[in-house]
Structure 1
């Protein structure tokens, strides 16, 4: 049985450990963009900053015994309308990380479902995320969860 709870600053060590799963993949594939070995202090300061943002929620998935299996970070985004766009509110999955030992066991799906519930409770009408092109596993997970491609970002080194 997986339980999901909101994270707090008491969970910094857990969040930092789980963040490394995703960060290491980013560093491996895009060393031109990501710090290879962020300092623990800098990472924890970044996490504290995000935890204190009222629009951001961190969720931790854990076993009944309290073993952390994964986390999600989500942000509620309110976009005001303009001459060209309609007003919008959505919840953005900023990151989901699942411990390798819990991969393909429903942890990611449980976290994503909880993010959906957070979005509904906040009055959001959509769930969005972005996925690095190299992350085929994440793309397959999100597509299997019902998300579809909305746009693509392309880059080129100059």
Structure 2
């Protein structure tokens, strides 16, 4: 069974290692080697991660740990972000990465369930994300969790124009604690 906890500045190296490894595993074919390295150097720099982890009012990082407490994945949520092509705002699931060796064990589902719970508890009205149009497996995964395609946005790498589907779901309103 995995455990999921909020990440903090002590987790920067784990986030960097998992982020770079999983991004390469899943998306190497859409970038040149130099383009990939430039993206990773920017997105997973220690300074960028430190600033994002410190901005708790804007971001939430969740770290997934295996039974030996070794990091195996993470998710990053951005609070109150405008949904593309909509008047709504909601929690944006910007990243959900799981090491390839951990796939197919239900860990991604557990991490996504935790994301949905945290976003609802934070009072967000919806969860949204974008997924590469070419990533049909990820799209099916999100659909199985109740997200639906609501639009599309452009996306390109240094090699190609791909585009992304915007997917979203409404979240239940957080219930106030019962009074005794």
Q: Same fold (TM over 0.5)?
A: yes
Residues 1:103 and 1:65: Cα distance change in structure 2 (over 3 Å): same
**More off after superposition, 24-33 vs 104-113:** 24-33
Structure 1 segment 1-158 matched on structure 2, within 5 A: 1-24=1-24, 25-31=26-32, 34-36=35-37, 38-39=40-41, 43-53=45-55, 54-77=57-80, 85=87, 88-154=88-154
Query: CA RMSD, aligned part only?
Result: 2.8
Task: With the length of structure 2 as denominator, give the TM-score of the two structures.
Answer: 0.73
TM-aligned CA deviation for residue 55 of structure 1: 1.4
| 2:166 alignment partner in structure 1 | none
The 2-side partners of 1:6 and 1:155 are apart by 29
Residues 1:21 and 1:143: Cα distance change in structure 2 (over 3 Å): farther
The 1-side partners of 2:22 and 2:94 are apart by 11
Residues 1:34 and 1:134: Cα distance change in structure 2 (over 3 Å): farther
SS of equivalent to 1:111: helix
Contact preservation (8 Å) 1:29, 1:134: no
Contact preservation (8 Å) 1:71, 1:96: yes
Structure 1 residue ranges without an equivalent (≥5): none
Higher strand share: 2
Task: With the length of structure 1 as denominator, give the TM-score of the two structures.
Answer: 0.82
Contact preservation (8 Å) 1:27, 1:36: no
The 1-side partners of 2:13 and 2:95 are apart by 17
The 1-side partners of 2:112 and 2:143 are apart by 12
SS of equivalent to 1:131: strand
